[in-house]
Structure 1
Amino acid sequence: MASWGVVALVDEPAVLLAAHAAHHLAAGAAEVHLWLDRPDPEATDLLGAVAGVHLHHAGEDGWAFQGGGQRPKLHTARQKYIASKTLAETRLDWVMHCDADEFLTAPGGSVAEVLGAAPAALDWVAVDVAERVQIGGRAGADIFAGAFRRPWRAFATEGAEVFAAAAREYLHHGIAGHHNGKCCARAGRGLFVGVHHGLKTWAGERAPAHGSLPGLRLLHFDGLTELHYLLKILRRAQGGVPGAPSRHSAARLVQIAAVAGRAGDAQRLHRIWRLAKTLDRPQAAALETRGVLSHDAPGIAQCLEAQLGFCPDLSPAAFDRALIARERDLLESLRAEFGFDPESLA
């Protein structure tokens, strides 16, 4: 069996970082590398003594690995940096690069077995994504509840059979977030790691020897709560670079424009969230029939209990409180620019 680990650049409430680490350790990861994009004493207190978790501060090496010692301005460039550095320095067989809200699984098997059986010619594999969605148009009892929809190849031609036009404009391949998956790279082959791909050169030339492993799946919690989703979207509306090519799908750009344009209207924001991130029961049944909706049960609470000796509060309300406390500066800027008030969502 292959040895493997996970690397992520993180800037989220500590409970999510703990869940991310606990899940991957339970799945067999030998190492979980969490690079803090800003200091986080709560995460350090919670995870500092957990065996297998390696906490780093982004920039602790003076950005000396690549880039001439300068902190990359773009979040995606910092992701590329920490993932490539971790891959270059690891003694493991494989390194999976993903975000704090993405959880690697191997339904019906083990990650180590699937990677161990990968053809030797593959330098990296793209792990297919499954996006969490809420059923019944409302949030679950905890932040990890829900089902998972996978990219739907026939969405362009058959999507109207399941989704109204108002929802279809927010979806790309039938999901609201990215459909490309993330990169799991084999160590020792001189690769670099982009956001979604293994790279042959630092400049971005994609490494050609790659494939996918159907035994692996990446569970993507694209918005743990309604507030979390809206902040993620508004951050992108705020962070645009004039004249730069978009890295978002057309559907994601529609979401960004819709949320930014009605950020002061709580009812409208809730409707956008429902259209983009929830299914009613007939829709869920239709996607199940088409084989693109599953009910994976990652068991995050049990993983946290095993690693920490207790399970933090995983309720949406508790997560939102932590998010508001952590993102005070962001919320002030969003209030000033877009008129967004998180209290109105309640």
Structure 2
Amino acid sequence: MKLVMTLLVRDEADIVDAQIAYHLHAGVDFVVATDNRSEDETTEILERYARDGVLHLIREPGDDLRQSEWVTRMARLAATDFAADWVLNADADEFWLSRGAGLKELLSTVPERFGAVRGAWRNFVPRPDDERLFAERMTARLCTPSFHPHPLSTHFKSAHRARPDVRIGRGNHEALADGLVALRGWYPIEILHFPVRSLEHCRRKYVTQFVALERNAEKGIPGHMAEAYEAYRAGRLDAFYAPLVVDDAALRSGLADGTYALDTRLRDTLRGLGFGEVHGQGRDAATPPPVPEDGARFAAEYTALGESDLGASFGARIDELEARLARLERSPVARVRRLAGSARS
């Protein structure tokens, strides 16, 4: 089996090196990456992996954030040009972790009639920034997920069989093609998710995306960004970020009441790959296997994903209908009707 990951990035130098190294270690054979106008060291990091022969780099100059279109292009290339059997459509802030067997071993067990498998986001909360690697600081995981419009919302992502006609939905949550049936209700992959990592990252992430989305108005602002967008328009993005940070006192309280759990699995794996601190463990420190209690917690958490499944299932249809309506409203016939209505009034 050949497993290919797609990756759309812009100014992700604080995380993208670790993200790619992690997934190559976890079983990904090749990466198809799109760099959209990065101005930090992201491009140089991607070019290094390309020179090593494990990454195909696409430079996308567009300034209107056509995420679905660009990820669809990469997913199709994975099938047609890079002989993929399965494809992961990942973001730079995601680390896919198969529960039990490795990623490739897991995907090889999926019955042939199913073409997509879901992974569940497990969100890690921002901590006070001390300039260390994100994974060294951010070891507090949110244990009370819900599907709501917020940066730490619960959602799933899909790994899918490679198809030259696949279409990736908004946010990379769904992979769509005739006969590409999702295996619903099973989440054998945890996606360790670090959506907001520092104040600087918050500004960079949201301002860049909002400017791009405003140029592509037909897409609208995604629900989980609405609060941040309002803060951005009011010049209060710093005030939006501040309540997201979990300080030491809030962490102690949250650990006591079950809101948070300490989860060092990514930190320890990255240390083994040469990222972050070593603390005398050496570079080959192994991540301990999950205990039964963690499996129970995971099962309890992903019951909230039923709402996001419905949202994704209908969201793509709603987006398509809204786009068609926008095209109709811009048509010459619609303009004539509006003018005629104005004349009558």
Normalising to structure 1: TM-score of the pair?
Answer: 0.64
**Structure 1's 119 and 283: CA in aligned 2 closer, same or farther, altered over 3 A?**
farther
The answer to whether the 8 Å contact 2:120/2:156 transfers is: yes
User: Matched residues, percent identical?
Assistant: 18
Match of 2:96 among 104, 109, 130: 104
- The corresponding residue for 2:226 is 253
In structure 2, distance between residues paired with 1:286 and 1:255: 29
Alpha-carbon offset, residue 133 of structure 1: 1.0
Secondary structure at 1:48 match in 2 = helix
RMSD of the TM alignment (CA)?
Answer: 3.5
- The corresponding residue for 2:194 is 221
- Between Structure 1 and Structure 2, whose CA radius of gyration is higher? 2
Match of 2:241 among 270, 273, 280: 273
Alignment of 1:68-79 (within 5 A): 73-76=64-67, 77-79=69-71
Alpha-carbon offset, residue 29 of structure 1: 0.9
**Structure 1's 235 and 45: CA in aligned 2 closer, same or farther, altered over 3 A?**
closer
Match of 2:50 among 48, 52, 55: 48
Secondary structure at 1:80 match in 2 = helix
2:202 is aligned with 1:211:
no
2:207 is aligned with 1:234:
yes
**Structure 1's 90 and 232: CA in aligned 2 closer, same or farther, altered over 3 A?**
same
Match of 1:144 among 123, 132, 135: 135
- The corresponding residue for 2:323 is none
Count residues with an aligned counterpart.
264
- The corresponding residue for 1:321 is none
In structure 2, distance between residues paired with 1:217 and 1:113: 15
- The corresponding residue for 1:180 is 155
Secondary structure at 1:21 match in 2 = helix
In structure 2, distance between residues paired with 1:107 and 1:139: 31
Listed as ranges, the gaps of 5+ residues in structure 2 are 276-282, 284-345
The answer to whether the 8 Å contact 1:123/1:209 transfers is: yes
In structure 2, distance between residues paired with 1:245 and 1:34: 23
- The corresponding residue for 2:326 is none
Alpha-carbon offset, residue 93 of structure 1: 2.0
Listed as ranges, the gaps of 5+ residues in structure 1 are 60-70, 156-171, 306-310, 312-346
| Greater relative contact order (Cα < 8 A, sep 6+) | 1
- The corresponding residue for 1:330 is none
Normalising to structure 2: TM-score of the pair?
Answer: 0.64
Alignment of 1:22-61 (within 5 A): 22-38=21-37, 42-58=44-60
In structure 1, distance between residues paired with 2:30 and 2:122: 23
Secondary structure at 2:214 match in 1 = coil
**Structure 1's 211 and 192: CA in aligned 2 closer, same or farther, altered over 3 A?**
same
Task: Render the CA deviation track for 1:309-346: whole Å, top value 9, x for unaligned.
Answer: xx9xxxxxxxxxxxxxxxxxxxxxxxxxxxxxxxxxxx
Match of 2:168 among 193, 197, 203: 193
The answer to whether the 8 Å contact 1:183/1:193 transfers is: no
Instruction: Answer 1 or 2: which has greater helix percent.
Output: 2
The answer to whether the 8 Å contact 2:113/2:181 transfers is: no
Alpha-carbon offset, residue 139 of structure 1: 5.2
Which amino acid in structure 2 is aligned with residue 75 of structure 1?
R
Task: Render the CA deviation track for 1:214-248: whole Å, top value 9, x for unaligned.
Answer: 32111222133221112212233333258636352
- The corresponding residue for 1:129 is 121
